[in-house]
Structure 1
Amino acid sequence: MLFGLLVSTAYAQTAPAGGQPSAFEMFVPFIFIFVIFYFLIIRPQAKRQKDHQKFLSEVKRGDEVVTSSGILGTVEGITDQFVTLEIAPGVRVKMLRSQIATSQKAATAEDKK
């Protein structure tokens, strides 16, 4: 009697309750996490990068800009890859165009907020 009770208890513990989940059911959490990452991280970063590329294409001579290293200057010359900034009267620095972070007006507007 006791042996029969132990065997039936053992079978009850090892028997699957509802079977194994399908492959789709196993990937649903991963799909859900990817969708969250896409909308919270990937999409906003791509939009920010697109806006920055548009800003860089519209930079022209005379614009006041801030570089990614924090240097404030006025654009004196511009080519496809390089920008010449005047950072002080008579002091000019040549740097990569991609290193321009934002316009000086936008940077000061963010500081006032």
Structure 2
Amino acid sequence: MDFLISSAHAQAAGAPAAGGGISTLVMMGVMIAFFYFMLIRPQMKRAKEQRTMLAALAKGDEVATTTGMLGTIVEISETYTSVEVAPNVVVKLQKQAITAVLPKGTLKSA
């Protein structure tokens, strides 16, 4: 089989360089820190703000929902809210469907 691979080329390959494991671990640590600060931490912050906003909802607040509907909260319970989207039209939604609390008077100007 010497005619396919010369003996000099087969013997020239050496052992892999030592110390490559530490640099790999450092690089993995840097990547984990990057993902934490760029992806996980901001998402946790937004989720906390959403929970705080939902806990502060009150009757009479003007809100926007995930479907794009705007309305005024008529009734609120632990998990559901009733939102008036037009005169005498009340829609019952889950609290999580509310994405934003609008400033007072927004619906009158729209």
Equivalent residue number for residue 14 of structure 1: 13
Which residue of structure 2 aligns with residue 36 of structure 1?
34
Paired AA for residue 57 in structure 1: A
TM-score, normalization by structure 2: 0.79
TM-score by length of 1: 0.77
Alpha-carbon offset, residue 32 of structure 1: 1.2
Q: Which residue of 1 aligns with 2:3?
A: none
Q: Which of the numbers 40, 43, 63 marks the counterpart of 1:45?
A: 43
Tell me how far 1:20 sits from its aligned partner. 5.5
Where does the alignment leave 5 or more consecutive residues of structure 1 unmatched?
A: 1-5, 109-113
Q: Provide the C-alpha distance between the structure 1 equivalents of 2:78 and 2:98, rounded to a whole number of angstroms.
A: 13
The Cα offsets for residues 12-42 of structure 1, whole Å up to 9 and x where unpaired, read as x3113633623x4332222211111111111
| Segment of structure 1 superposing worse, 13-22 or 74-83 | 13-22
Stretches of structure 2 that go unaligned for 5 or more consecutive residues are 1-6
Q: Which residue among 87, 90, 98 is the counterpart of 1:89?
A: 87
Q: Which moved more, 1:26-35 or 1:38-47?
A: 26-35
2:39 is matched by which residue type in structure 1? I
After the TM superposition, which parts of structure 1 deviate over 6 Å for at least 4 consecutive aligned residues? none
**Where is the helix percentage greater, Structure 1 or Structure 2?**
1
Q: Secondary structure at the match of 1:66?
A: strand
Counterpart for residue 54 of structure 1:
52
Q: Percent identity?
A: 32
SS in 2 for 1:41: helix
* Inter-CA distance 17–94: structure 2 relative to 1 (3 Å threshold): closer
- Give the Cα–Cα distance (whole angstroms) in 2 for the partners of residues 39 and 95 of structure 1: 34
Count the aligned residue pairs.
98
Distance in structure 2 (CA, Å) of the matches to 1:52 and 1:41: 17
Amino acid at match of 1:37: F
* Correspondence for 1:76: 74
